[in-house]
Amino acid sequence: MDLLTMGRWSPYAVGIGIGVLSWLTFILSDKPIGCSTAFARTSGMIERLLRGNKVLEKAYYKEFAPRIDWEWMLVFGIILGSFTSAKLSGQFKLDWVPSVWEAAFGPQPVTRVAVALLGGVLLGFGARWAGGCTSGHGISGTLQLAVSSWLAAICFFIGGIAAAFFIFRVLG
């Protein structure tokens, strides 16, 4: 099967595939694809390990209980699916520094990891503030023609484009 061992598919084939996948999740699970709630739940699970059951009293975790649910399994599945695809095409490689980053800021893993950590904090915080991410709002929400999701997706790109130009055209 050449298709499975190819390194890249057309973005349109991938997009149509994701669209069809979302039909299936709506039919079989009554759920839209989304990723960021799983991170909030995991954060609650880790906090519960460290601080005990009083974590469950937090207002946020009463709404989003820190437990493994459908979406958590979905995120875990993404790692497995991507790993399988990357192994089939020979793209799997352990690496610390992406080439675009390296060209602007050098090959040291520590700077890249520190900035990724900072970016991750902003991303996790912003995703929960907005109530969704590039999957939950950006794909699943826009396909449902949700008002909140179209605004969120536009703001993701306004913030993202502004910050990327600052990082790579001013700092880099």
Partner 1 sequence: MLTKLHGSKRTQLGLGLAAGFGFGFLLEKGGVARYDVIIGQLLLTDFTVLKIMLSAAVTGMLGVYLLRSLGLARLHPKPGSWGMTAVGGLIFGLGFATLGYCPGTISAAVGQGWLDALVGGLGGILLGAGLFASMYPRLRAGILAKGRFKSLTFPELFKVNPWVVVLPAAALIAAFLYWLESRGL
Q: Are 130 and 119 in contact (CB under 8 A)?
A: no
Among 49, 56, 65, 164, the residue binding partner 1 under the rule CB under 8 A is 164
Binding mask 81-120 for partner 1 (x = CB under 8 A): xxxxxx--x-xxxxxxxxxxx-------x--xxxxxxxxx
CB–CB of 158/151 below 8 Å?
no
- What residues between 40 and 69 interact with partner 1 by CB under 8 A? 40, 42-44, 46-47, 58-61, 64, 68-69
Q: How far apart are CA 116 and CA 108, in angstroms?
A: 13
Q: Among candidates 85, 28, 3, which has minimal Cα distance to 20?
A: 28
171 near partner 1, judged by CB under 8 A: no
Out of 49, 56, 65, 155, the residue judged to bind partner 1 by CB under 8 A? 155
Distance of CA 93 to the CA centre of its chain: 20
CB of 154 to partner 1, least distance (A): 7
Indicate which single residue of 70, 106, 107, 108 sits in contact with partner 1 (rule: CB under 8 A).
70
Helix (H) or strand (E) holding 32: none
Residue in the block written with tokens 């009293």: 57
Give the x-and-dash track for 113-152 against partner 1 (CB under 8 A).
Answer: xxxxxxxxxxxxxxxxxxxxxxxxxxxxxxxxxxxxxxxx
We find the least distance from the C-beta atom of residue 108 to partner 1, in angstroms, to be 11
Which amino acid does the sequence have at 3? Answer: L
